[in-house]
Every structure is written in structure tokens, then in C-alpha cells.
Amino acid sequence: MNSTFEKETQVVILTGAGISAESGIRTFRASDGLWEDHRIEDVATPMAWERDPELVWGFYQGRRRQLLDVVPNPAHDALVELERFLGDGLLLVTQNVDDLHSRSGSQNLIHMHGELRKLRCEECGEILVAMDDVHLEDKYVDCSKCGVERMRPHIVWFHEMPLKMREIEMAVADCDVFIAIGTSGHVYPAAGFLGLAQACGAHCIGINLDPPQNVDLFDEFHQGKAGELLPDLVNSWVGSE
């Protein structure tokens, strides 16, 4: 039943919170609209940052520290194997702001909802990688380029536009195979990539613990945990035992 990929197969993968669940990071939908015990509108909107920067900053510092306690799981590693086989023919698009895909070794990777490890200056656009060091203890970080105080988390908040949308949509429209892993299909525009891929003729594969909202659009759906299913699926796709 499973497909086999050629080296030339163009593949786009969309991952969501479910792929990091087995590493110990809670998904959004599992938290009843809360994110690590906070209401999303209190910590993940531009208005929240304006109204209460201390709360928002503290929240993201907590999320950054959590990254130090988690490691990639077999699902992240399986995608690295797939990239080894497909090379530039694989584009990995993640909605996750954790760094587990890159720590596992994925290279051709777009973080469409931003990255916990990065800060951005709203004035000059400077982006700073800020989590391995003293910045984890800092109360705010000033921009070293233009001097503006208080760089913001480089996170796409509600009411903001995801990053690199044009590049992603072009790749989705062009791909032969589209694979969605660990995402509930609730949050647009990411949830719309499946429909676009399907409309453009891609073979669409879903891997998720529960059937996601848009499950009917998949040509193949594999229900279960990504860390348990993906290693074998990748082996079957690349034709090894």
C-alpha cells in the first residue's frame, strides 16, 4: 500500500506540535486552549507584548529553558534519514517553534511560526540567536545593531503573518508528495497546504495520533504516534528493509 520514493521525488513535509509530543513538549490542542498554563491571548499576541512585556518575556524564557530538557525523538531522526535520501528534493516546513528538527540534523527547514531561540528587533529587523548563554537569565535584550531596547521573541503571534509563505506555497504547489505529521489541521494558513497540495496533484500522506480536521483530503492516513510509525514508513519510502 505504501508509496516508494525515487531520488528525484519532490517532497514537502509539514510538521506540527504532535511530532515533538514524544520528546515531552505539550501540544496545543491537548492543553484545552492553554499553552503551558497560559491563555494564548495573554502571551502570544502583539497586543500582549505591548500590554505586559514582562509576562510575555517570562513566558518565552520559560519555553526556551524547557528546550534544554528535551531531545529529538525517532520521528525527528527519521526525517533526517529521508533528507539524506532525497537531498534538496525535501523541504521540511514546521509550525513548531522548538529547535528539535535542527538539533536532529534537518537542514532544508523553514520555521513558519518563528523560533524560540531567536529574538528580533522591531526597529531594524536584526535577528539574534539568544538561548545558549547568558541571555537565558536576561530581563530583555537590547538590539546591538540599532540600540533599541527590548528585542521581541522571533515568534509569529496570533494576528501576524507566518514567515516565508510564498516560498512554502510554491514548493507545496510543485511537490509530488505532501506529508503532514502531528498537526491538527485547525490553524490556517498551514492547514490549507494539504488542500493546495491535493489540488495540484500531489500524493498526500498524513500521520497523526487522532484523525485531523482535514483527514478526508489525505490519500493515505496512518494513525498513531509519529515516533513509532515514521521510522518504518521512511524505510518503506526509501526502499530499505
Triad 56, 129, 144: Cα angle to 5°: 90
Using CA atoms, how far apart are residues 111 and 185, in angstroms rounded to an integer? 17
The interface partner of residue 73, options being Zn ion, ligand OAD, none and the CB cut-off 5 to 8 Å by kind, is none
159 is catalytic: no
The interface partner of residue 168, options being Zn ion, ligand OAD, none and the CB cut-off 5 to 8 Å by kind, is none
Using CA atoms, how far apart are residues 136 and 55, in angstroms rounded to an integer? 15
Burial 204-216 (b: 16+ CB within 10 A, else e): bbbbbbeebebee
Work out which of 63, 76, 113, 120 binds ligand OAD, going by CB under 6 A.
Answer: 113
Work out which of 183, 194, 205, 217 binds ligand OAD, going by CB under 6 A.
Answer: 183
**Sign of the Cα pseudo-torsion (180, 182, 188, 189, in order):** negative
Choosing from 76, 101, 111, 113, the catalytic residue is 113
Distance in Å, CB of 162 to ligand OAD, minimum: 7
User: How many of the other CB atoms lie within 10 Å of CB of 14?
Assistant: 27
Distance in Å, CB of 211 to Zn ion, minimum: 45
Catalytic residues: 113
Residues contributing to the site for ligand OAD (CB under 6 A): 16-18, 21-22, 27-29, 44, 95, 113, 156, 182-184, 186-187, 208-210, 212, 225-226
